[in-house]
């Protein structure tokens, strides 16, 4: 592995503090007590922060090796967390960034190598300082290990270098969509391997699991959990209706969102609410108030009662019928935001005319009309008595057509009269739908 020195008796030397120091001398390794977990936005992603530096035994010292290495990084997080695709170690002073890329092989190999290393630690009676340097079981109990492999790093003797890492992980999402209460725990582990013409950087990842493998130049040395930390977190999940909400052209409709909040943090924030829509020239506003403060959090579940926020969506008179999105955004004071999306279906109200039933004894006609939603249906026309029917939802209404004036006199005199019934449906919100139907009234 370039000029990286390996112990003569690998596992035995690995267990000795001085032997391990020889293995790590000059390598990039974790800076002691640098792991910190936070939630910068108040809600949303948790940030895992730590530092690495050259020869950190006991403090960051000048690099003592030359050659090309690749580093294996393990970050343990709650099951279901969403990892970033890349992680960058940013130099504090001098040196180049180290870019790590998500790698499933690293995660599997580090976990597979951990039991054998821990077994030897137990068999050899390793001291606490030795266990701390080599690391505990990987991944830590209850967490899932996420692996990253670095681009090749050119090691140069002499400089003392340090890097910081900030990796943001999306909070886990439960199958039922419930918020993640926290806390968000994290652990870190590291490994390394040499890179040269014989053993390129794109070869499969294999971590040493036995004494013989520790001597092989193509095998990576993978250590265990070096540091652990956690932080209380907050999470807000916003869910819109499962089905699209109908909005008539020129009208408006309420859209209700469910807000579920959970926290193991110290305080409950007040969220600023804002609604937006993809409907061109459409408007969306929060009808239930511009802020949201979660209710009392249950001490056992760490969840607040489900709350409802209502938005009002308005479609202009020139709106194009179709399905659009309405988004409700809740922003915490620290800047983190949660969003929920609902669908709205913009339609032009239409009337569907059914059959006509004549009442010859009264000289009237009953017309069946299917209306598209809540609103008022009106029938009128020359020689017709104006009549209205109201609907609370989409349904079939029956409205009576009755003659008046000269038309009524003609009906009584001849037994029939032809009228043109003009039908108009005015939704509770939206433009009117109109249709007409010619009917011959009969009386006998």
Q: Given a cut of 50, is residue 42 above it in pLDDT?
A: yes
Q: Using alpha carbons, list the distances in angstroms from residue 256 to 147, 240, 328.
A: 41, 7, 10
Is position 318 within any domain?
yes
State the residue range of the domain holding 276: 235-347
Express each pLDDT in 229-263 by its tens digit: 999 999 999 999 999 999 999 999 999 999 999 99
Domain's final residue, options 173, 197, 231: 231
Could you give the number of structural domains in the chain? 3
What angle is formed at CA 151 by the lines to CA 145 and CA 157, rounded to 5 degrees? 110
Same domain, 192 and 73: yes
Torsion of CA 99, 102, 105, 110, to 10 degrees: 70
Nearest Cα neighbor of 169 from 52, 100, 80, 236 is 80
Same domain, 243 and 266: yes
Q: Is 1 strand, coil or helix?
A: coil
Domain's final residue, options 205, 231, 257: 231
Nearest Cα neighbor of 234 from 184, 309, 305 is 184
Is position 4 within any domain?
no
Same domain, 248 and 161: no
Question: Please, what is the average pLDDT of the chain?
Answer: 90
Question: Rg of the chain's alpha carbons, rounded to an integer?
Answer: 36
What angle is formed at CA 325 by the lines to CA 323 and CA 327, rounded to 5 degrees? 165
Nearest Cα neighbor of 267 from 47, 39, 34 is 39
Express each pLDDT in 164-199 by its tens digit: 999 999 999 888 889 999 999 999 999 999 999 999
Is position 26 within any domain?
yes
Percent of the chain with pLDDT over 90: 78
Is position 313 within any domain?
yes
pLDDT of residue 90: 97
Q: Band of the pLDDT at 118, cuts 50, 70, 90? A: confident
Same domain, 297 and 261: yes
Q: Band of the pLDDT at 323, cuts 50, 70, 90? A: very high
Is position 3 within any domain?
no
Same domain, 129 and 255: no
Bigger pLDDT: 381 vs 209 = 381
Is position 1 within any domain?
no
Q: Given a cut of 70, is residue 14 above it in pLDDT?
A: no
Q: Band of the pLDDT at 213, cuts 50, 70, 90? A: confident
Express each pLDDT in 261-303 by its tens digit: 999 998 999 999 999 999 999 999 999 889 999 999 999 999 9
Q: Band of the pLDDT at 60, cuts 50, 70, 90? A: confident
CATH number at residue 243: 2.60.40.10
Is position 131 within any domain?
yes
Same domain, 222 and 73: yes
Residue 113 per-residue DSSP state: H
The total number of residues written for the chain in this structure:
444
Domain's final residue, options 171, 200, 231: 231
Cross-sheet strand order for the sheet of 307-314: 234-239, 252-263, 307-314, 283-286
Same domain, 25 and 144: yes
pLDDT of residue 7: 39
Are 278 and 266 a contacting pair, CB within 8 Å? Answer: no
Same domain, 319 and 412: no
pLDDT of residue 57: 67
Same domain, 76 and 174: yes
Q: Is 384 strand, coil or helix?
A: strand
Same domain, 120 and 83: yes
Same domain, 254 and 317: yes
Nearest Cα neighbor of 169 from 149, 148, 146, 191 is 146
Mean pLDDT of 350-371: 96
Is position 424 within any domain?
yes
Same domain, 399 and 436: yes
């Amino acid at each position: 592995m370039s000029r990286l020195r390996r112990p003569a008796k690998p596992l035995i030397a690995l267990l000795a503090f001085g032997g391990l120091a020889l293995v790590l001398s000059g390598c990039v390794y974790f800076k002691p007590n640098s792991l910190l977990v936070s939630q910068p936005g108040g809600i949303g992603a948790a940030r895992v922060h730590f530092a690495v530096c050259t020869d950190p035994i006991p403090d960051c010292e000048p690099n003592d090796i030359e050659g090309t290495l690749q580093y294996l990084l393990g970050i343990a997080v709650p099951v279901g967390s969403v990892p970033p695709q890349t992680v960058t170690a940013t130099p504090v002073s001098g040196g180049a960034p180290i870019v790590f890329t998500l790698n499933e092989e690293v995660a599997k190999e580090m976990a597979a190598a951990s039991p054998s290393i821990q077994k030897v630690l137990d068999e050899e009676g390793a001291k606490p300082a030795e266990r701390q340097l080599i690391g505990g079981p990987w991944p830590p109990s209850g967490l899932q290990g996420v692996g990253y492999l670095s681009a090749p790093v050119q090691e140069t003797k002499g400089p003392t270098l340090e890097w910081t890492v900030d990796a943001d992980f999306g909070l886990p999402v439960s199958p039922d969509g419930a918020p993640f209460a926290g806390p968000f725990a994290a652990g870190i582990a590291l490994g390394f391997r040499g890179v040269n013409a014989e053993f390129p950087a794109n070869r499969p990842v294999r971590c040493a699991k036995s004494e013989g493998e520790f001597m092989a130049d193509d095998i990576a040395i993978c250590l265990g959990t070096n540091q652990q930390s956690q932080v209380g977190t907050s999470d807000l999940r916003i869910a819109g209706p499962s089905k699209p909400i109908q909005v008539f052209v020129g009208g408006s409709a309420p859209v209700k969102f469910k807000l579920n909040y959970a926290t193991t943090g110290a305080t409950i924030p007040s969220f600023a609410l804002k609604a937006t829509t993809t409907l061109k020239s459409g408007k969306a506003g929060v009808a239930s108030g511009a802020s949201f403060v979660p209710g009392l959090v249950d001490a056992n579940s760490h969840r607040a009662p489900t709350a409802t926020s209502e938005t009002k969506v308005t479609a202009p008179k020139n709106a194009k019928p179709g399905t659009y999105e309405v988004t409700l955004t809740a922003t915490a004071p620290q800047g983190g935001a949660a969003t929920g999306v609902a669908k709205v279906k913009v339609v032009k109200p239409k009337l569907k005319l059914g059959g006509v039933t004549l009442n010859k004894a009264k000289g009237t006609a009953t017309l069946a009309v299917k209306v598209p939603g809540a609103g008022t249906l009106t029938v009128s026309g020359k020689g017709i008595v104006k009549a209205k029917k109201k609907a609370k939802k989409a349904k079939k209404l029956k409205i009576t057509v009755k003659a008046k004036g000269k038309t009524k006199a003609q009906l009584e005199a001849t037994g029939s009269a032809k009228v043109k019934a003009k039908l108009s449906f005015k939704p509770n919100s939206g433009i009117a739908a109109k249709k007409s139907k010619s009917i011959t009234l009969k009386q006998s």
